[in-house]
Amino acid sequence: MPAPGTPLEQLGFLTIGTFDPADPAAGHETTLRMVELGERLGFDSAWLRHRHLQYGISSPVAVLAALTQRTSRIALGTAVTPLGWENPLRLAEDLATVDVLSGGRLQPGVSVGPPMHWDDVKEALYPDTAEVEDFSYGRIERLLRLVAGERASTFAGREGVVEEFSDRVQPHSPGLRSRLWYGGGSTRSAQWAGQAGMNLLTSSVVRAEHGSTDFAQIQAGQIHAYREAGGTGRVSQGLVVVPTDTATPAQRERYAAYAAARAPRVGVPQGPGRMLFAPDLVGSSEQVAEALYAHAGFREVTEVVFALPFSFAEEDYEQILTDTAERLGPLLGWSPRG
């Protein structure tokens, strides 16, 4: 058994919400059921990935709106929404609306930078403004100001008989600004998040920096950089974690094959961005807990959002979530929420 560390305060999970393009409704319904199960199991939060032009959730804010009506306690997040695809003012309206519907449970995670496959999508996404779009941190600063309730228009008041206009995003949801997260994978992004007063989401991908390829040490260093830059918000770690305690032999074989297929990229910087991937943690809850306690990044946090693997069946996710909540979580000092 691993030596106990600081008790884990928040346990969440993340899903991509895959679906069959021939029957997308079924896949989206599966995602809704998984979050409902997560709430019953006592998870603190459920997060949706954002996938454009793929067979995963392209509109997590819409799915989260549905979840506000099917859950009552669990926090609902995005990890992450790439702002290069979004108009900050319109996104601020959507986020505030869903937060109001949820009773203040929304935890939006965002990132900046050009959209993936920019040259392939820019004509469809920004046919008239592609060359002048701002994909810097300035884009998220606009979102932060609008969510906080700063002015969005120079006009406010009545027009005509019944129309009332506000000069600020409506609805306004107090507290939402403090629940915005930045998904960072580099020292620079971690520092910026700290300076901007955002919470920090770390994941299973970081940038290889300072000549190192030690994922855990790099991640821990980025968390330190966030705090040294003035970050006082929450910090969450996200790794792919698959406890196998109640898995069938067939499930264990499938999980092991999944991790083995992804293993060759571990420790090897990928692409021009030199991105490093963390190894998937597959094994009994005792084995996974031991690996986490030995992980320098994990030792820096008191909350996690464990990522569900892609392309597994619903019964696989049920087993993974149940073992995580009932077996792994308690080994990490976590207690389910009622």
Residues in CB range of 284: below 8 A, 6 or more apart: 243, 244, 245
Buried/exposed code over 214-229 (b: 16+ C-beta within 10 A; e: otherwise): ebbebbbbbbebbbeb
* Contact yes or no for 107/181 (Cβ under 8 A): yes
Residues in CB range of 258: below 8 A, 6 or more apart: 280, 282, 309, 312
Give the pLDDT score at 3. Answer: 57
Cα→Cα distances 98→2, 7, 106, 267, Å: 40, 31, 7, 39
Beta strands 75-82 and 45-48: pairing type?
parallel
Q: What is the pLDDT along the chain (338 residues), one digit of tens a residue?
A: 455 668 999 999 999 999 999 999 999 999 999 999 999 999 999 999 999 999 999 999 999 999 999 999 999 999 999 999 999 999 999 999 999 999 999 999 999 999 999 999 999 999 999 999 999 999 999 999 999 999 999 999 999 889 999 999 999 999 999 999 999 999 999 999 999 999 999 999 999 998 999 999 999 999 999 999 999 999 999 999 999 999 999 999 999 999 999 999 999 999 999 999 999 999 999 999 999 999 999 999 999 999 999 989 999 999 999 999 999 999 999 999 87
pTM: 0.97
Q: Which domains does the chain have, with CATH numbers?
A: 10-153+165-331 (3.20.20.30)
Q: Closest by alpha carbon to 84, among 44, 36, 50? A: 50
CA dihedral 77, 80, 81, 82 (to 10 degrees): 170
* Contact yes or no for 42/13 (Cβ under 8 A): no
E strand or H helix that includes residue 120: helix 118-125
Give the pLDDT score at 1. Answer: 45
Residues in CB range of 74: below 8 A, 6 or more apart: 35, 38, 39, 43, 44, 45, 46, 105, 337
Give the pLDDT score at 224. Answer: 98
* Contact yes or no for 114/84 (Cβ under 8 A): yes
Give the pLDDT score at 13. Answer: 98
Q: Closest by alpha carbon to 83, among 54, 47, 125? A: 125
Token pair in block for residue 208: 């290889």
3 state SS for 37-75 = HHHHHCCCEEEECCCCCCCCCCCHHHHHHHHHCCCCCCE
E strand or H helix that includes residue 327: none
What residue type is 79 in one-letter code?
A
Token pair in block for residue 268: 């090897």
| Cα 264 from Cα 268, distance rounded (Å) | 8
| Cα 285 from Cα 333, distance rounded (Å) | 13
Give the pLDDT score at 105. Answer: 98
| Cα 239 from Cα 245, distance rounded (Å) | 18
* Bond before 80 cis per omega within 30 degrees: yes
Q: Closest by alpha carbon to 203, among 81, 305, 84? A: 305
